[in-house]
């Protein structure tokens, strides 16, 4: 096994196209959010994100830790605005694309709450295509406004928001002392057209669509420019609030209207799935007549007590879903099939299309997923193909127009060697992809693994972007992550090698060295995630860090083959096997030891949630729970700051015992672990200030 396997993460089974999309989206995020100069249309950007989602829906193993689906918004690190840490995260929404997705949403909510789907009432609202914004009011006075940013940290845009007439500076009525109102800044279609006419007449930039115009206008450094733009605001949610203002989503909408906000219409309270789907159809049919852009509708569980119980998972709330508008179709010609190689060595086919406009967006590429997909649909170069876009995004190939196929057409033969390094690319049993065996010999894999290592959610090393990494790789200065932390030593302090390179000099080199030094201290979960171990994304990395607490404890346990690995929540046999295989390879352990020697890896600290008695405790549930569902019990424990595992050990603090408990209860007694009844757990999880 190669040393490069240290960074092998086959979570992305057909990785290169997926990794390329991640890089493109990150670059476009900087152009759009940071520089206010998008280099593609908003619809084309959405197309890239949707292609990622389409791939991951069909092939969940393709999900990579740095996928856009695993994070919210954009990093504010390099933006010129002051930073604002949100008191409560601003989450994104999961997507539905057909009726069955909506039924599945109802089913998940019902299962979590232990009720029937018919018991669930949802508030349905238009999904406005604008820019999310959070407004903080104290004693009814607007004191701060912020963008969503990455969901945790946004940008202070207070001066610009004060220029929007829809946003009250002082609230009506008697609002709570602290009230954070969340909503969407947007631009009406007619106002957008007028703005572009003025821009054209003045010889200024023409905006691609109302959303881009709204986003660019809101993020001006000069608020006088914002004042000239016809921005509007719809309120639809609250964040930090010092006192309850409603018990339902419909009541919240009315409360926001009473405070002086505009709320989106048409909206409807839906008592059945049929009502929900009928509302969706109505909005879709009336979409062209609405004065603002919408790209779907949003469903929210109406009961806010249920919203609180449901909480969130990953980047999205469990109690809400965005239902995107349907696919659009067109026919074009498949000009080529290119094979791209990702950091796991996966060979991923990409369709190169004759560019064609679909729903106002020009598309020229589509994913083909893997060689089985090509064979199943008998897709050949030169074919006329039906392409489909779902939710205003990039298309996928749904069918071949056989009657237009040329007689000379030949089946596509999927290569069995890597197009980058020419190494053999075998297909592993039970996998849908071929994988290059070149390891670090293959530049595509090594560079992708290094890009992941320095990415925002991993080590986040500023100044070590894609081009810089390629340059250091080509010049032989960086081959493994450990090389990053010896870069200054390799430069021997003279800066002479770097200074002679185009675009580099003493100052830029010193900034890079300082950025690297700034990352020598890192949290355990980020360190684990950065390694790119197979199937270990951000959530799993946090689970491992929370369970083992320190780097030494984790690495020692992994090297020893800890049998307790599968007891950690969400770590099943497949994930455990990949982690175990990683540590079974001596080259991996050697590289890991080398890397750790350059760093200070901070112990994991459980986040205290108020004064809950469960905060920082390790909990196991056993038996049949009758007061709440098992899913809700786990979610409630984690909300209190507890660490939920699947098996009992001497590290376990509490075992919650339901009906018909068996071996776990016996083991808890053997180890002297405290047993809790369901009632005990309920009382402890409700005590304290959460």
Q: Which helix (H) or strand (E) holds 298?
A: strand 294-301
Q: Which helix (H) or strand (E) holds 332?
A: strand 328-341
* Distance of alpha carbon 176 from alpha carbon 421, whole angstroms: 63
Active site residue 324: no
The answer for 221, left when phi > 0, alpha when psi is -120 to 50, beta otherwise, is alpha
The answer to whether 536 and 581 are in contact (CB under 8 A) is no
Residue 587 pairs in a beta bridge with none
* Alpha helical stretches, state H, 152-291: 158-161, 189-201, 210-218, 223-227, 249-258, 273-286
Q: Which of 77, 83, 111, 127 is catalytic?
A: 127
Q: What residues contact 474, with CB distance under 8 A and at least 6 apart?
A: none
- CA 130 to chain CA mean position, Å: 19
The answer to whether 121 and 42 are in contact (CB under 8 A) is no
* Residue 34: CB atoms within 10 Å: 18
Q: Which two tokens stand for residue 617?
A: 């405790």
* Distance of alpha carbon 72 from alpha carbon 86, whole angstroms: 13
The answer to whether 557 and 571 are in contact (CB under 8 A) is no
* Distance of alpha carbon 355 from alpha carbon 362, whole angstroms: 6
Decide: helix, strand or coil at residue 127: strand
Q: Which two tokens stand for residue 631?
A: 């899913």
For residue 266, whether the previous peptide bond is cis, meaning omega lies within 30 degrees of 0, is: yes
* Distance of alpha carbon 603 from alpha carbon 597, whole angstroms: 15
Q: What residues contact 642, with CB distance under 8 A and at least 6 apart?
A: 614, 615, 616, 617, 618, 619
Angle at 419 between CA 422 and CA 334, to 5 degrees: 155
207 secondary structure, DSSP code: P
Query: Which residues does the annotation mark as catalytic?
Result: 127
């Amino acid at each position: 096994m190669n040393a490069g396997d240290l960074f092998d993460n086959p979570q992305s089974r057909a990785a290169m196209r997926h990794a390329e999309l991640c890089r493109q989206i990150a670059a476009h995020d900087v152009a759009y959010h940071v520089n206010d100069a998008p280099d593609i249309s908003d619809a084309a950007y959405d197309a890239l994100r949707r292609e990622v989602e389409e791939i991951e829906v069909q092939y969940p193993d393709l999900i990579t830790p740095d996928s856009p689906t695993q994070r919210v918004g954009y990093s504010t690190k390099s933006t010129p605005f002051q930073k604002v840490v949100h008191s409560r995260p601003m989450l994104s929404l999961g997507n539905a694309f057909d009726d069955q997705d909506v039924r599945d949403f109802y089913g998940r909510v019902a299962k979590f709450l232990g009720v029937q789907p018919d018991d669930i009432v949802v508030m349905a609202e238009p999904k406005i295509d604008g820019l999310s914004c959070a407004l903080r009011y104290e004693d009814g006075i607007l004191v701060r406004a912020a963008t969503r940013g990455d969901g945790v940290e946004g940008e202070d845009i207070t001066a610009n928001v004060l220029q929007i007439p829809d946003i009250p500076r002082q609230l009506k009525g008697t609002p709570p002392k602290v009230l954070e109102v969340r909503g969407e800044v947007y631009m009406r279609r007619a106002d957008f057209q007028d703005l572009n006419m003025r821009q054209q007449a003045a010889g200024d930039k023409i905006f691609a669509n109302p959303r881009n115009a709204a986003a660019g206008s809101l993020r001006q450094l000069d608020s006088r420019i914002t004042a000239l733009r016809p921005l509007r605001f719809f309120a639809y949610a609250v964040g930090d609030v010092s006192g309850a203002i409603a018990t339902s989503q419909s009541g919240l909408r009315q409360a926001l209207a009473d405070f002086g906000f505009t709320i989106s219409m048409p909206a409807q309270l839906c008592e059945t799935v049929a009502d929900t789907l009928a509302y969706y159809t109505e909005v879709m049919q009336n979409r062209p007549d609405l004065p603002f852009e919408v790209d779907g509708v949003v469903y929210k569980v109406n009961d806010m007590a249920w919203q609180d119980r449901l909480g969130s998972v990953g980047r999205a709330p469990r109690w809400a879903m965005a239902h995107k508008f349907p696919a659009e179709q067109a026919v074009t010609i498949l000009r080529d099939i290119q094979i791209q190689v990702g950091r796991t060595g996966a060979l991923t086919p990409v369709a190169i299309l004759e560019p064609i406009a679909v729903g106002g967006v020009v598309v020229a590429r589509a994913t083909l997923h893997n060689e089985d997909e090509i064979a199943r649909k008998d897709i050949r170069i030169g074919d006329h193909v039906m392409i489909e876009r779902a939710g205003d995004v990039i298309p996928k190939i749904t069918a071949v127009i056989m009657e237009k196929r040329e007689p000379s057409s030949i089946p596509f033969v999927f290569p069995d060697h890597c197009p980058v390094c020419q190494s053999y690319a075998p297909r592993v049993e039970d996998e849908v992809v071929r994988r290059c065996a070149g390891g670090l010999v293959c530049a595509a894999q090594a560079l992708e693994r290094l890009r992941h290592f320095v990415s925002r959610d991993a080590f986040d090393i500023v100044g070590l972007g894609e081009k810089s990494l390629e340059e250091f790789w080509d010049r032989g200065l960086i081959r493994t992550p450990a090389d990053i932390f010896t870069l200054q030593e390799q430069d021997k302090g003279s800066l002479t090698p770097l200074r002679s390179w185009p675009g580099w000099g003493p100052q830029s080199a010193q900034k890079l060295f300082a950025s690297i030094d700034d990352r020598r201290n890192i949290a355990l979960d980020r360190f684990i995630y950065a390694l790119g171990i197979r199937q270990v994304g951000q959530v799993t990395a946090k689970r491992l860090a929370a369970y083992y607490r320190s780097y030494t404890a984790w690495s020692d346990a992994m090297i020893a083959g800890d049998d307790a690995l599968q007891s950690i929540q969400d770590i099943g046999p497949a994930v455990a096997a990949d982690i175990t295989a990683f540590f079974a390879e001596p080259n991996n352990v050697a590289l890991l030891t080398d890397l750790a020697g350059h760093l200070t890896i901070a112990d994991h600290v459980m986040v205290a949630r108020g004064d809950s008695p469960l905060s920082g405790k390790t909990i196991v549930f056993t038996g049949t729970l009758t007061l709440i569902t098992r899913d809700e019990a786990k979610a409630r424990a984690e909300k209190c700051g507890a660490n939920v595992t699947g098996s009992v050990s001497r590290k376990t603090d509490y075992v919650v015992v339901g009906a018909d408990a068996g071996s776990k209860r016996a083991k808890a007694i053997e180890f002297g672990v405290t047993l809790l009844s369901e009632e005990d757990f309920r009382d402890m999880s409700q005590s304290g200030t959460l």
